[in-house]
């Protein structure tokens, strides 16, 4: 098993990062909207957070403020002002990420929904430094 993992890791380093499949559409769209275009791969929550921090964004979790709610419920909380939002909120749901502004409007969502009942797995408020 170790030989396979090592072989895969060396293959990732050799490939052109702009042409390989190690960027997801949703994470790339969110980062591009925030002005971040120089990154090799981005698939997970920790990848997005570390890339934003490297590009001079202040990133803080807001999970304790919102609890276990859906994206639609988050929008209601933002409209009433019960969540300390930065300039934008990066919201992670199952296998997807979206960008919401402090008023609860969607800025970037590559998989939009009419009634958004997706459960929030992680949420980060971001500010420009």
Distances (CA, A) of 44 to 22, 89, 104: 10, 16, 23
How high is the pLDDT of residue 69? 93
- Give the Cβ contact number of residue 73 at 10 Å: 16
Main-chain dihedrals φ then ψ at residue 80, nearest 5 degrees: -85, -10
Nearest to 103 by CA among 89, 123, 121: 89
pLDDT digits (tens, 9 = 90+) for 10-57: 444 444 545 555 788 899 999 999 999 888 888 889 999 999 999 999
Q: Is the pTM of this model over 0.85?
A: no
More confident residue, 120 or 85: 120
pLDDT digits (tens, 9 = 90+) for 51-102: 999 999 999 999 888 889 999 999 999 988 888 778 899 999 998 999 999 9
How many Å is the Cα radius of gyration of the chain?
16
Check residue 124 and give left, alpha or beta (phi > 0: left; psi -120 to 50: alpha).
Answer: beta
How high is the pLDDT of residue 4? 43
Percent helix, percent strand, percent coil in the chain, to nearest 5: 35, 25, 40
């Amino acid at each position: 098993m170790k030989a396979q993992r090592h072989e895969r890791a060396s293959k990732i380093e050799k490939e052109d990062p702009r042409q390989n499949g190690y960027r997801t559409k949703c994470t790339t769209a969110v980062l591009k909207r925030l002005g971040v275009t120089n990154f090799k791969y981005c698939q997970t929550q920790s990848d997005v957070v570390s890339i934003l921090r490297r590009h001079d964004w202040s990133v803080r979790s807001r999970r304790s403020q919102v609890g276990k709610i859906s994206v639609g419920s988050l929008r209601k909380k933002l409209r009433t002002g019960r969540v300390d939002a930065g300039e934008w909120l990066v919201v992670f749901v199952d296998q997807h990420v979206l960008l919401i502004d402090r008023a609860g409007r969607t800025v970037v969502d590559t998989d939009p929904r009419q009634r958004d009942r997706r459960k929030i797995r992680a949420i980060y408020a971001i500010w420009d430094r």
